[in-house]
Structure 1
Amino acid sequence: MTVVRDIHEDYGAVFEERGERALPRHFGRPVRTQRAVRNAVGVTEHAYGVLVVTGDDRREFVDNVVTNAVPESDGEGVYALLLDAGATIRTDMYVYEAGDRLLCFLPPERVTEIAAEWRENVFIEDVEIAEATDDFAVFGVHGPEATEKVASILHQSGAPDAPLSFVRGEIYDHGVTVIRTDSTAGEEGYEIVCTTDAASDVLETLITRGLNAPPFGTRVWEALTLEAGTPLYPDDMTGRVPNVLGLRNALDFEKGCYVGQEIVSKVENRGQPSQRLVGLRLDGDADAVPAIDDFLDVRVDGRTVGEATRAAWGGAVGAPIALALVGYDTDAEAATLVTGDGERDAGVVDLPFIVGSDRSERAPRYE
């Protein structure tokens, strides 16, 4: 559950339940708020489960099981995946080197399972794994004016420049860690990490001090990331081979082995995965977004070529949009989306739909 529900309620939040967590779905007028974030800056609460990995062998231990090289220098991070034996995605995560420990941020519903699994695999290594989800709050600051917003309220440090690098500073007399994101919303972005007892003061400061930054919820976040061509866990990722999603920023083929690496490498060496991620643009207004409770078939000339994974109102596009996985060789400018309410005509769009003040590092790249 959010650690600052009272503040969200003060701003008119409508909540949704995700597993055992309650997060703001929206604060009213989500279409207007989405436009405000694209034009300036907004603030949201991100839901992460947190693992703290300590011990002299922590880097080697984590590096052996994730798809990217674990950073060695304090203040650096990477985006990585955990794969199963078939090389499909179990979950994604961010791994940060924070001096004498690694901080792993992953979906909250996976943190207990992964912590238990990692502990079972510690033998003679000097490694300890602790869950710390309840110790931290994480707030996102996103939009073309995100840097100015952070600079206006952060003391004792300047905003970090490199993606997934971080600095330590103060907001409202509380110690915080400020991470430059990998621009998953297609805009400049930062994540502010603080202790839960500081969360109320930090969130209130983010919203009301310096540049105005309205709060937004998961509905706007899903739309922003979809416009940016960013696949999200679990809807776009679970059970997929990472090459299919074009997630090149999550893979380091030069590092040591991880589960499923051989299969992923073979797909990479062939140069052509079985599917690729594309966008679909549909006709209609914000009330015409198709419901995707399950994957919807995508057809070209009456033949099923793939499936849509999620949809949202693309405010910057001015139309309902969706992400879809289609056959890699599919070459069509138009398709049909089969919904529960009938068939919908759609234009096929190479991702991202838009590039704002920054390009999402997760937007698909196929080489």
Structure 2
Amino acid sequence: MSDLFARVPGAVIVGAGLEHLGNPLGEQRALADGSAVAPLEDRRVLAVPGEDRLTWLDSLASQGLAALEPGQSTELLILDPNGRIEHAAAVVDDGETAWLIADDGDADALLAWLMKMRFRLRVAPRDASDEYAVIGGTAAAVAAVGAAAPVGVPLIWHDPWPHVAVGGYGYAPVHPHPGEDRDWAEAIVARSTRDDLADAAARGERRLAGLSAAEALRIAAWRPRWSHEVDERAIPHELDWMRTAVHLSKGCYRGQETVAKVHNLGHPPRRVVALQLDGSGSRLPAQGAVVRRGDDAVGAITSAALHYEEGPIALAIVKRSVPIDADLTVDGEDGPIAASQEIIVPPDAGATASIPRLPRIGRRAPAR
């Protein structure tokens, strides 16, 4: 994969993905305004054909999928018996097949688990990554690339975040939500289409953005992702993932009891926060960097980026007991980094009838 996009002028390849093309901040702007698309080589495509696919997935996953219409987008979580997140995937159905987009590090395990859960139902999960790739950007931009449509329905997943889906619940008290105006879609495209995109970019006929640009826009929208925000303890409530990936009144599924208990009777033990980082240093904190209140470790960084408008930002998981106005620092390679938190999941999330809305902290001047 890396050789394909290495031909594009300025390309910096990290692992198998196009990280950036020399101008990450400019690529963010282009990705946000629809003048560029991002090859998402860190995604994989799984196909689940079969007559029973939607009711079967509905019985396994956190989201209500039984009535999913062709072309409709949603997402699902697979939880363990204690309600902890094991797998996550974007979902779009074309009337014959449910198409799942999963993070590369999760795809094999997710597929293996689905294969074990087939029993005698009419479903045939498979890895379709040899046939298809994923391209991200605004809905119009990815549609222009040319999504695959095996049975006539374009395979474009429109990110439902941050709008609260039917049966979901949003914990973030901030209004407006920073992801409110984010236009993000992911097109499942034939491998030949992806190759043509790379050729056009190498000739200067098509503008691309790297994975770092896509990540910065995601982090600024407070959007959780399996490969970054999920660890062995994560439950949906902690990440505000109840809004788009959980249906609170659907039928039984593994982990549902914990989901209901925490939401109705308790509070999640941790909470995700957005951090505005001191921009005087030159390095962003790494995933896993310790977040401190004074000398005490109270959490860890899950994602960090230099955003074209907000400067250095991050998502972190912290203990629920951390005060919302606490002064925090993050362990960086060059020393402590001062961090001010914005509330995503408040300490009283869960057993609450109403979470007051708060105005969002104003954006900083654009980074230079």
TM-score by length of structure 1 reads: 0.77
Residue in structure 1 matching 2:104, options 108, 118, 139: 108
2:320 maps to 1:328 = yes
2:6 maps to 1:11 = no
**Residue by residue, what CA displacement relative to the aligned partner does 1:289-340 show, whole Å, maximum 9, x if unpaired?**
2233x341331x544433222221122113x222122233522153222334
Structure 1 segment 1-367 matched on structure 2, within 5 A: 1=1, 5-17=3-15, 22-39=16-33, 41-46=35-40, 47-70=42-65, 71-142=67-138, 147=140, 149=141, 153=144, 177-182=155-160, 186=179, 187-202=182-197, 214-239=207-232, 240-248=234-242, 249-270=244-265, 272-284=267-279, 287-292=282-287, 294-299=288-293, 301-318=294-311, 320-329=312-321, 330-332=323-325, 334-351=327-344, 367=355
SS in 1 for 2:38: strand
Cα drift, residue 79 of structure 1? 0.9
SS in 1 for 2:282: helix
SS in 2 for 1:69: coil
Amino acid corresponding to residue 29 of structure 1 in structure 2: N
User: Quick one: structure 1 residues 40 and 63, their matched pair in 2 at CA, closer, same or farther if it must change by over 3 Å?
Assistant: closer
**In 1, distance between residues paired with 2:207 and 2:256?**
42
Cα drift, residue 180 of structure 1? 2.7
Cα drift, residue 222 of structure 1? 1.7
**In 2, distance between residues paired with 1:254 and 1:150?**
33
**Residue by residue, what CA displacement relative to the aligned partner does 1:239-286 show, whole Å, maximum 9, x if unpaired?**
201101111211001112222111111101125322221111122258
Q: CA RMSD in A?
A: 3.2
Cα drift, residue 223 of structure 1? 1.5
What is the percent sequence identity of the aligned residues? 27
SS in 1 for 2:254: coil
**In 2, distance between residues paired with 1:206 and 1:182?**
29
Cα drift, residue 219 of structure 1? 1.5
SS in 1 for 2:125: strand
**Structure 1 residues without counterparts, runs of 5 or longer:** 156-165, 353-365
User: Quick one: structure 1 residues 195 and 35, their matched pair in 2 at CA, closer, same or farther if it must change by over 3 Å?
Assistant: closer
**In 1, distance between residues paired with 2:199 and 2:20?**
17
**In 2, distance between residues paired with 1:49 and 1:154?**
18
Contact 1:207/1:215 (8 A) holds in 2: no
Task: Report the equivalent of 1:357.
Answer: none
**In 1, distance between residues paired with 2:343 and 2:200?**
38
Cα drift, residue 176 of structure 1? 5.3
**In 2, distance between residues paired with 1:136 and 1:150?**
14
Cα drift, residue 67 of structure 1? 0.7
**In 1, distance between residues paired with 2:192 and 2:33?**
32
Amino acid corresponding to residue 113 of structure 1 in structure 2: A
Q: Which has the higher strand share?
A: 1
**In 2, distance between residues paired with 1:29 and 1:63?**
42
Contact 2:74/2:160 (8 A) holds in 1: no
129-138 vs 188-197, greater mean Cα deviation: 188-197
249-258 vs 28-37, greater mean Cα deviation: 28-37
SS in 1 for 2:341: strand
**Residue by residue, what CA displacement relative to the aligned partner does 1:11-51 show, whole Å, maximum 9, x if unpaired?**
3311111xxxx111111121232233345532101232222
User: Quick one: structure 1 residues 344 and 119, their matched pair in 2 at CA, closer, same or farther if it must change by over 3 Å?
Assistant: closer
Amino acid corresponding to residue 182 of structure 1 in structure 2: P
**In 1, distance between residues paired with 2:44 and 2:249?**
28
**Structure 2 residues without counterparts, runs of 5 or longer:** 163-177, 346-353, 356-368
TM-score by length of structure 2 reads: 0.77
SS in 2 for 1:104: strand
**In 2, distance between residues paired with 1:7 and 1:282?**
32
Cα drift, residue 150 of structure 1? 5.8
